[in-house]
Amino acid sequence: MLLKDFIPAPEVQDVVQLYRIVHLQFPKGQTAPAKAYPPRPEQCLAFYPYDTETVVYQNSGKKVEHLPVVLYGQFTEVTNRIIGNNFLVFQIIFHPGALYRLTGIPSTELTNQYMDAGLIFSSQLKLVNEQLAAANDYKEMVQVADVFVQQLIKQQRKQRMHIDDACLLLLNSEGKFSLDKLSKTAFLSSKQLERKFKERTGVNPKLFERIIRFDKVFRYKNSNPQFDWLRIAVACDYHDYQHLAKEYKDFTGFTPVAFHEIENKAPERAFGLAEGYYK
């Protein structure tokens, strides 16, 4: 069983942050537990070469299922994901702004959307999914993805601009980059920065920064379950535990303790895996 991040080929690293493979197999007749999938700073193209998953939005109850290839934008809410017995997802996680450059579609149209990727990309997706299913190992899957992304880059709709550098700076600095510095990096006024930033990420810079920090604390806790919450809060740049607890309530509807009780029942936990840091 596997939950691991893979580094893409140098030729595609301008648009792809990482590949993530999650491969879990449960015995026939055994129902896999649901996964509460919290907001994280990512836009993703996900292939399901074996069993697909059912996604239920926590806030609205909306359900999406039976999609072999999915495109999803920036999420700001929890989705509950129910997997099959033979589950493998190959995720292509793009750099902020890269999906906009590849498709020309404003990312605000993809925010909180879990949709059929065939509506955006070509019928080639089916072939790629078949190649992933036929691959001999995970390394071969990564090679399939590299070739596919190189083809996407050749058809790129928009050129890279300074605003893309600003989006990436905010992500790589884990949110520790002031809006003034972002504006200077992007050569834009504050208002222009916010508009262009939302066009490329789906959310404004402040919300993106909050999601980055929330994702950091979520993974940090998973990697260090023995640490108490105050230590986690300070390590992840929250003012105190109450500040952290408010973010958990805003993004998940739960306290940190309650949400991680749910997280501890996620499918990967049955195999001793957890969503920490895998790069």
Q: Is the pLDDT assigned to residue 176 strictly greater than 90? A: no
- Mark whether 32 and 79 lie in a shared domain: yes
- Mark whether 123 and 149 lie in a shared domain: yes
209 — phi, psi (to 5°)?
A: -60, -40
User: Do 230 and 221 touch, CB atoms closer than 8 A?
Assistant: no
| pLDDT value, residue 1 | 92
User: Do 261 and 225 touch, CB atoms closer than 8 A?
Assistant: no
- Mark whether 77 and 131 lie in a shared domain: yes
- What is d(CA 276, CA 279) in angstroms, rounded to the nearest whole number? 10
User: Do 132 and 90 touch, CB atoms closer than 8 A?
Assistant: yes
- Mark whether 146 and 192 lie in a shared domain: no
- Mark whether 81 and 184 lie in a shared domain: no
| pLDDT value, residue 147 | 98
The half-sphere exposure of 224 on its side-chain side, counting CA atoms within 13 A, is 14
Q: Is the pLDDT assigned to residue 279 strictly greater than 90? A: no
Residue 50 lies in a domain: yes
- What is d(CA 197, CA 108) in angstroms, rounded to the nearest whole number? 10
Q: Is the pLDDT assigned to residue 278 strictly greater than 60? A: no
Question: Average pLDDT for residues 110-129, to the nearest whole number?
Answer: 94
| pLDDT value, residue 277 | 58
- Mark whether 10 and 144 lie in a shared domain: yes
Residue 216 lies in a domain: yes
- Mark whether 180 and 106 lie in a shared domain: no
Strand order in 63-64's β-sheet? 35-37, 79-83, 53-57, 63-64
- Mark whether 22 and 136 lie in a shared domain: yes
Q: What is the DSSP letter of 93?
A: E
Task: List 5's β-bridge partners, or say none.
Answer: 20
Residue 188 lies in a domain: yes
- Mark whether 76 and 140 lie in a shared domain: yes
Please measure the distance between the N-terminal and C-terminal CA atoms of the chain and give it in whole angstroms.
17
- Percent of the chain surpassing pLDDT 70: 99
Its domain, for residue 178, covers 162-205
Residue 279 lies in a domain: no
What string of DSSP letters covers 33-45? PPEEE---S-EEE
Question: Average pLDDT for residues 137-148, to the nearest whole number?
Answer: 98
What is the domain-level CATH number for residue 234?
Answer: 1.10.10
User: Do 186 and 162 touch, CB atoms closer than 8 A?
Assistant: yes
Q: How many domains does the chain have?
A: 3
| pLDDT value, residue 276 | 82
Residue 256 lies in a domain: yes
Nearest residue to 72 via CA among 49, 43, 52, 108: 43
- Mark whether 217 and 242 lie in a shared domain: yes
| pLDDT value, residue 10 | 98
Residue 277 lies in a domain: no
What is the domain-level CATH number for residue 42?
Answer: 2.60.120
| pLDDT value, residue 130 | 97
- Mark whether 58 and 39 lie in a shared domain: yes
Residue 40 lies in a domain: yes
- Mark whether 13 and 142 lie in a shared domain: yes
Residue 192 lies in a domain: yes
Question: Average pLDDT for residues 161-188, to the nearest whole number?
Answer: 89
User: Do 111 and 74 touch, CB atoms closer than 8 A?
Assistant: yes
